[in-house]
Structure 1
Amino acid sequence: MITIMITGMGPTRGARAYGEGVSVTIGLVGAGRRAAEVHAPALSGSADVRFAGIWSRRPESARELAHRHHVASYDRFADLLDHCEAVAFAIPPDVQTDLAAAAARARRAVLLEKPLANDLAGAEEIAVAVTSAGVVSQVALDWRYAEPVRQFLAMAAPRTRPLGGSGRVVTANPHDRQRTQPWRFERGVLLGEGPDLIDLLDAALGRIVGVRAHGDPLGWVGLLLEHAGGRFSEASLCATAGTPPRAEVEVFGPGGAAFVNCAAAAGPDSFATMVTEFAAAVAAGKPRGLDVQRGLHLQEVLDNAETDLFTHA
């Protein structure tokens, strides 16, 4: 296998043939639970990737995770950029804004965590940096890389000729702070669980053009979503239930109903697909659809929902 490796802070290589014998060099930013359970295993297990190493604001965690996957750990973010042509992020949204924008300005392709940022301004900053640099971007929307979800969107949902639908995410009580990211406690279920659900309803029923929200951001939140073409959906999100996690979407129309269990669909296979498709996009120099503009659209919906939620609190 030929390993293509970028050194120095110069621009990323242009499009090239992708396939056997070509490896994309990707570094990882973050060393928490998400990095350890999703990104690091997918990067180290991919035949299409040379896992360049890890940088984190917590050096000890970076060293431990890097040792586990037999890669380098870096003391500085700039050092990681110097050894890769693309970066995968597994960090909180308030931290991702500055680092992702800096990576894009350094001409590194970016695999972005969702939501893109802590607020709409931060998401716009990332989008501007990515667009201005002309680099490949992709958003880690877990469900969209799972085969059952793709079959739902490609075949099952269209057969219903959908008029509307519903979706819900119900997660267990998040009081185990050792396993739950702190920002999720602070911002609540909408920002923490909303991006994947809003994205899938948007993909199944058409672009979301309006949103109404009610409920408690730290408990149960309900959304009424208006889609282009006169379709509507309802979304429910809860992060305080004492039940096993659930995540599901269903659409209805003259052709019947279509349902997908999203919680059961996402896992190691979908994470591997995410990394493979990101590597292919970097090699080709073209994003594959779930890019920074998709992330920005979802952030706009989240921002409108939060505004409505707190306006009527």
Structure 2
Amino acid sequence: MKRLRIGLVGTGPWASSTHAPALAAHPAAELSGVWGRRPDAAAALASTHATTAYAEVDELFAASDAVAFAVPPDVQAPLATRAAAAGCHLLLDKPVATTPAAARELAAAAEAARVASVVFFTLRFAGPTAAWVTEQAATEGWFTGRADWYGAFYAADGTSPFSSPWRARRGGLWDVGPHALSILLPVLGDVTDVTAAAGQADVVHLILRHSGGASSTATLSLTTPPKAAGVTVELRGEAGTALMPTGGEALDAFGRAVDALVEAARTGRSHACDVRFGLRVTEILALAEEQLPAG
């Protein structure tokens, strides 16, 4: 079977450490080129993986069957909308956008062009956690859950290689909130009501009501002191208590996301983590943000 030509938009730490290596090594994909807002970084990344650095993003789209994105969400949304209009399948990062309007425009463009889409919610593609979500979604009787994402994202000296202006500005709600929702929604159902409250620094507490009648809570932060950091997802119901396992590497998980995009493009069947799911996550987070103090 002909390999899917997948271009890469982005040249930052995630693009260099995860996206480009996974695409270059994937047996069913070909890294068709790189475009970035910094031409020198795009040239360096393309050279590392023996592909082409494009000066114009539309040239990358024209040379590709699909496009993977490793850029901030408010950069991703309009570029991915253009990629869809050019007929490219989409491998998106989370969140797909930080406004429902931009996410809806992107989803509409993908639907109009009939292109496949997959959003890389890491834990939905990491082996241990993906299997756990599938198992719990098939189990009935859950009445509550909690998802605590305490990230010690920023180094004490501010030199974390993954620091970025959009993360500093939007905080844990928008960076780790999508992870929490990507786990809770497939198990407990869509969110019908959300209540949000702010804590210290970027801490946000959510109370969620789900379509099946269950409720859940989520606590989200990127600024947790390192000794207090950690991720916990717990479900309680008729079957007892289920605790999400840990483990799985981002590189392997991204490779499985590529698998999913290749399959969706080949069969025309939508993936559970497609752009419409990404839109729903954006809508829920935006409803929560409306309840928080400005700034």
The answer, yes or no, to whether TM exceeds 0.5 is yes
**Paired residue for 2:234?**
250
Gaps of 5+ in 1: 1-20
Distance 1:274 1:104 in 2: 18
**Paired residue for 2:146?**
166
Q: CA, structure 1 residues 156+101, in 2 after alignment: closer, same or farther (shift >3 Å)? A: closer
Distance 1:41 1:247 in 2: 26
**Paired residue for 1:209?**
192
Contact kept in structure 1, 2:196 and 2:205, CA below 8 Å: yes
Distance 2:199 2:178 in 1: 17
Alignment partner of 1:237: what SS? strand
Alignment partner of 1:122: what SS? helix
1:52 is the counterpart of 2:42: no
Question: 1:178, CA displacement in angstroms?
Answer: 4.1
Question: 1:160, CA displacement in angstroms?
Answer: 6.6
1:272 is the counterpart of 2:263: no
Question: 1:216, CA displacement in angstroms?
Answer: 4.2
Contact kept in structure 2, 1:188 and 1:217, CA below 8 Å: no
Contact kept in structure 2, 1:189 and 1:218, CA below 8 Å: no
1:237 is the counterpart of 2:220: yes
Structural mapping, 1:177-216, within 5 Å: 178-216=161-199
Aligned residues: 291
Q: What code does the residue aligned with 1:302 have?
A: L
**Paired residue for 1:4?**
none
Contact kept in structure 2, 1:152 and 1:258, CA below 8 Å: no
Alignment partner of 2:236: what SS? strand
Alignment partner of 2:101: what SS? helix
State the TM-score, normalized to the length of structure 2.
0.93
Structural mapping, 1:1-313, within 5 Å: 21-156=1-136, 158-159=138-139, 161-174=141-154, 175-176=158-159, 178-216=161-199, 218-243=201-226, 245-262=229-246, 264-310=247-293
Gaps of 5+ in 2: none
Question: 1:109, CA displacement in angstroms?
Answer: 0.7
Alignment partner of 2:192: what SS? strand
- Percent identical: 34
- Report Cα offsets for 1:30-80 as digits up to 9, x if no partner: 000111122111101100001101000111111111111111111110111
Question: 1:192, CA displacement in angstroms?
Answer: 1.3
Distance 1:131 1:159 in 2: 32
